[in-house]
Amino acid sequence: MFIDRAVVHVKAGDGGNGCLAFRREKFIPRGGPSGGDGGKGGNVIFRGSRHLNTLLPFKFKQHIKAERGSHGMGSNRHGKNGGDAILEVPLGTVVFDLATGEMLCDIKEEGAEVIIARGGDGGRGNARFKTSVNQAPVRVEEGWPGEEIDLRLELKVLADVGLIGYPNAGKSTLISAISEARPKIADYPFTTLSPQLGVVLFEDFSTAVVADIPGLIDGAHEGTGLGHHFLRHVERCKLLVHLVDVSDLGENDPVRAFRNINRELSLFEVDLATKPQIAVASKIDSANASHLDELERWCREQEIQLLKISSVTGEGLQEFKRTLKKLLANLSEEA
């Protein structure tokens, strides 16, 4: 199950209390105070992991609590520090303060750790308050409470290439043809209900992550269809591949379909419309000649690169992969 939003409550560990104690041992005159300090509470830490691609674990674990520190003990013994609560999150997880909406962190690197809530310090025992004028202090401190906060987690898929287009444009078939991903494929709209990731292997054995972004139709930015729920996943992609169905069963006006999807992207976020993008005429094994000619002519006028593929017969797929490799390499050099 793909879950890309979650609300959780996190509580760092409280610090342990300081100890009130005095030494009374044989052969040690005037023993004095010997209360140790309390241990520090554990932190709540989020760690990025490339092995996860969903926030599903947080659907069943919405309350996260770190271990509290142990209390101080006699004989100047320090209380044990509380253990940290370390939770792995998928790369691309953005953490917000639920109350204020402030973004706290954006975890995009493998192994990156962010302290979300800090544990409280331990209280001081009475041994720490001994002075020249107060040889037997009875003062101790309670441990400090750990930080506590409600969070909203959002996952924005990290991918090199994002496949966009109307439902049934052939995105799922394409990603299954160029990678080992096996999304559900059917001839009805909204077959794909969540982003699907696939790893494409190029001829030089380098790889790229391709994401099938579902839910884009007219009015998607306002919540129509699957709505803007998945539009944010497009933000992370370096390159957009816009599929247009040019078959007899495809769009009657392929140019209008192309422009409408780009309009939805720009209405959701202006920068999305300016991302590097190429057009792909899909299902050319059953192409409508007039549809294909119209799309080719418009792409030439707009100076948009157009590729023609059939994910079923394999026609054009090798050229498509070589073009992806070249464009991603150019984008990396520019970056």
Compute CA 32 distance to the chain's CA centroid, rounded to the nearest angstrom. Answer: 55
Could you tell me whether strands 93-97 and 103-107 are parallel, antiparallel, or unpaired per DSSP bridges? antiparallel
* Domains and their CATH numbers in the chain: 5-155 (2.70.210.12), 161-334 (3.40.50.300)
The answer to whether the predicted template modeling score (pTM) of the entire model surpasses 0.95 is: no
CA angle at 91 for the pair 85 and 93, rounded to the nearest 5°? 70
13 near 120, Cβ under 8 Å? yes
Tell which phi-psi region holds residue 229, choosing left (phi > 0), alpha (psi between -120 and 50) or beta. Answer: alpha
Q: What is the largest CA-CA distance in the chain?
A: 105
pLDDT value at residue 221: 42
Coil vs helix vs strand at 223: coil
* The pLDDT of residue 220: 45
Cα-based angle 48, 108, 201 (whole degrees, multiple of 5) = 95
Cβ–Cβ < 8 Å for 121, 284: no
- Total Cβ atoms within 10 A of residue 293: 13
Distance CA 21, CA 32 (A): 9
Residue 43 DSSP one-character state: P
pLDDT at position 305, please?
92
Q: Give the model confidence (pLDDT) of 274-310 as tens digits.
A: 888 999 998 888 888 888 899 999 999 999 999 999 9
Residue ranges of the chain with pLDDT lower than 50? 188, 190-191, 220-225, 227
